[in-house]
Amino acid sequence: MMSKELQKLLSGDILEEDVELTLAELCDTCQLPAETVFSLVEFGVIEPHGRNPGSWRFRGVSVRRIRCAQRLERDLGVNTAGAALAIDLLEEIEQLRIRLHRFES
C-alpha cells in the first residue's frame, strides 16, 4: 500500500526525476494491470531498474511516458512499438530545443 505522502505526490502531473516507483505503485498510479506494464517494458516505452519484476523500480518519467503512450494509442491508433518510437523522438526533439535555446541565449 502506498503511503499518503507518495499518493499525494503522484496525484499531480509532474513527478520529480528522483522519485522511484515499484511495479505495484506504477500500476496503481497509471491504473494499469501488470501485464500491460510488462508489454510497455518489452517495447521500450519504459525502462525498469532491477533484474526481475519483483525488484523493478521505475523513475517518475515512466508515468509521463505511459500517459503519452496511452494518448498516442487512444487518439491516433498508434501501437505500442510505434508509441515507444514516437516518445523517443519527441524527447529527442525537446532535448534539441533545449540545446538550441542555450546557443541562442
Domain segments of the chain: what residues?
4-104
| Cα(17)–Cα(70) distance, integer angstroms | 20
Question: Could you please report the per-residue DSSP string of 25-68?
Answer: HHHHHHT--HHHHHHHHHTTSS--BSSSTTT-EEETHHHHHHHH
* pLDDT means over runs of 10, the chain (105 residues): 51 63 95 97 97 94 95 97 97 95 88
In terms of pTM, does the model score above 0.85?
no
The pLDDT value recorded for residue 105 is 78
Q: Report helix, strand or coil for 22.
A: strand
CATH 3.60.15.10 fits 4-104, yes or no: no
